[in-house]
Chain A
């Protein structure tokens, strides 16, 4: 669960209605071969902008494996720092924000208060730091993140330092699209080899999504005026660069906004799969809007990149399952006690596993086995 966000207003328990959802999750972390328990709960509700706003959350950790004491500590290790934003004010209530679709890598890890550190046994400090670091190196891409390429701006501005000057609303989809295009441009300017590797995967040498991308740069200056005490006017000149990206597909020259959803999404997902330096990459449904022929190559690329970092993705696609081995798949199932995630080898008995192996060898594929309810009991 990656929480990030903008606090808007205080949550009162009496606001609950049919749209207010409550979720609980538990997980076990392993630090230096010692199990560390996490249990967390969130209350959230979709906003009028169709985003999930977290109204309340609780996060508790148990360091029994280290301290030998079965005690739960309330620690915000997995929650992102809450950003204040102009217009929203600052509400320093713990555990509120949005269920966010992408990690903001510029966010610093949550800083624990001195009192929180003191409340913890010293023997658990190292584990806390390890979990904070692990969280910092985890990145998540949702299925809806790179949808609707029409939200891409036709151009963007950067300042003298190369940082993005054009700003979309933080956390909005257009902002995420802009971030992707800007990061791609930055890679083009500063990491030629990596850019070349990426392009070789998406252009005619790779999956043939596009031919190339050209970046037109137009330099210009703006003036800003500041009035100082005594009426003295200071003129500040700022140099900027207007970047206009053009994507070449066949004989067409298109802006990113004109790309099809599948093309844009695949370009973005592959960009992060290939270039992201995180230790754990979580991707939701890479198959969305992607042709099955292309999807095969996308899964191959994801699998290849998993040699550098752990990649976990969710899928509802038979085509994706067909590209995987049973030991690479975890099954998600729902029961009265909640949603459970288990490796196939743990979910199935020895006899069931043997039956699956024989089926894959002689009858059909993993995706087909799943479609025909082979995993249902």
Chain B
């Protein structure tokens, strides 16, 4: 069985990635994880954590870090520098634009199903163009549920991710490298 290492900013990001891996690979796999609770710790510790994950049997590494308001090129370079030399190969640095919630916004039907909303949820045309996807998702769920459902990212992200279709996720350019990586290296 594949064992995949995931380093992310928080547990809910790990859960979303785990759900996506399951969708893409349709295989059983185990995971080892470290969460940074913010970007500073993740950057300073990611190399040591990946060494530990390797010792724990992880043969593939996924590092996830939201772009937030940063620059994609700068963040990618900085994270690659922090991770190098990475003890786990293959590895990938995934940077959702602007937040991982943008991927979830790509599938309006998944949001409706996962959050048990009876009204239609409108399609978001360009999820990665939304400056603050987390707040956007929260407001969308609140309004469409008639203010009856409270979205809490650490609880609900994984539920929406489980309901998301790959075709919808592919609408996000920052998602596609992860899918290609998984198809290539997790078999």
Asked if residues A364 and B44 are in contact (CB atoms below 8 Å), the reply is yes
Other-chain residue from B37, B150, B153, B154 in contact with A197 (beta carbon distance below 8 A): B150
Interface membership of B136, Cβ < 8 A: no
Judged by a CB distance under 8 angstroms, whether A33 is at the interface is no
Give the chain A neighbours of B10 by CB distance below 8 A: 296
Contact with A along B58-70 (1 / 0, CB 8 A): 0000000000000
Q: Are B11 and A361 in contact (CB under 8 A)?
A: no
A364 CA to B40 CA, complexed, in Å: 4
User: Are A297 and B40 CB-contacts (below 8 A) given A197-B149, A304-B138?
Assistant: no
A296-B154 in contact (CB<8A): yes
Does chain A have a CB within 8 A of B177? no
A91 at the interface (CB under 8 A from B): no
Question: Contact partner of A322 among B37, B150, B154, CB < 8 A?
Answer: B37
A360 within 8 A of B: yes
CA distance A206 to B151 in the complex (A): 10
Closest B residue to A358 using CB positions: B40
Q: Give Cα A103–Cα B151 distance, bound, in whole angstroms.
A: 29
Given contacts A293-B11, A297-B155, contact A363 B148 (CB under 8 A): no
A96 to chain B, nearest CB (A): 41
Does A301 count as interface, using CB distance less than 8 angstroms?
yes
A16 proximal to B (CB < 8 A) = no
**With known contacts A293-B11, A322-B38, A274–B43 Cβ distance under 8 A:** no
Residues of B within 8 A of A197 (CB): 148-150
The docked-state distance in angstroms from the alpha carbon of A113 to that of B38 is 54
Distance in Å: Cβ of A138 to nearest Cβ of chain B: 23
Q: Does A284 reach chain B (CB closer than 8 Å)?
A: no
Is B149 in contact with A363, judged by CB distance below 8 angstroms? no
Q: Which of B57-109 contact A (CB under 8 A)?
A: none
Q: With contacts A206-B152, A297-B155 known, is A365 near B38, CB below 8 A?
A: yes
Which residues does chain B contribute within 8 Å of A297, judged by CB atoms?
Answer: 152, 154-155
Taking a contact as CB atoms under 8 Å apart, the answer to whether B150 and A301 are in contact is yes
B44 and A360 form a contact (CB under 8 A): no
What's the Cα separation between A323 and B35 when bound, in Å?
A: 12
Contact digits for B154-187, partner A, Cβ 8 Å, 1 yes 0 no = 1100010000000000000000000000000000
B165 shortest CB reach to chain A, Å = 21
Choose one: B40, B138, B151; the contact of A365 (CB below 8 Å).
B40
Contact of A196 with B by CB under 8 A: yes
Interface flag for B39 (CB, 8 Å): yes
What is the CB-to-nearest-CB distance from A187 to chain B, in angstroms, rounded to a whole number?
14
- Once bound together, how far apart are the Cα atoms of A362 and B45, in whole Å? 10
Interface: A207 (CB within 8 A)? yes
Residue B32 CB within 8 A of the other chain: no
The 10 closest A-B pairs by CB, nearest first: A322-B37, A365-B38, A360-B40, A297-B154, A300-B152, A364-B41, A363-B44, A300-B154, A365-B41, A363-B40
* Interface residue ranges, A against B (CB under 8 Å): 193, 196-197, 200-201, 205-207, 274, 293, 296-297, 300-301, 304-305, 319, 322-323, 359-368
- Besides A206-B155, A361-B43, 6 new A-B residue pairs in contact (Cβ under 8 A), listed by A number: A205-B116, A322-B38, A362-B40, A364-B41, A364-B44, A365-B37
